[in-house]
A = this chain, B = another copy of it.
């Protein structure tokens, strides 16, 4: 026990969970907010902005990348990370769906 029973859920459920999980850490929220706020997207600048060591930031960037929420490209000697819009669209749509269903349904029985 201890491992998530991934096989017992649908691909869609697992995919949404992976996207949400990737944003389930304040450092990773901070990275996204930084990428939105600032012109640059150089990895080093992200490391400087966050109160975490370079390997830790690198790990968080990797998780965001694996989830499909950011992408990275070489920019000379450093790497430029950008938000990957399709990933955000996917999870935003889920939340939008929830809201839409709620308005249609008004199933607030509690």
Hey, which chain B residues are within 8 Å of A81, CB to CB? 110
Assess whether A77 is interfacial by the CB under 8 Å rule.
no
Asked if B80 contacts A110 (CB within 8 A), the reply is yes
Copies in the complex: 2
Hey, which chain B residues are within 8 Å of A110, CB to CB? 41, 71-73, 80-82
Per-residue CB contact flags for chain A residues 27-41 toward chain B (1 = under 8 Å, else 0) read 111101101100101
State which size class the interface on A falls in: 35 or more
Give Cα A101–Cα B85 distance, bound, in whole angstroms.
11
Assess whether A26 is interfacial by the CB under 8 Å rule.
yes
Asked if A33 contacts B13 (CB within 8 A), the reply is yes
Asked if A80 contacts B95 (CB within 8 A), the reply is no
Assess whether A107 is interfacial by the CB under 8 Å rule.
yes
A-B contact pairs, 6 of them (CB 8 A): A4-B26, A4-B27, A5-B51, A36-B102, A91-B95, A92-B95
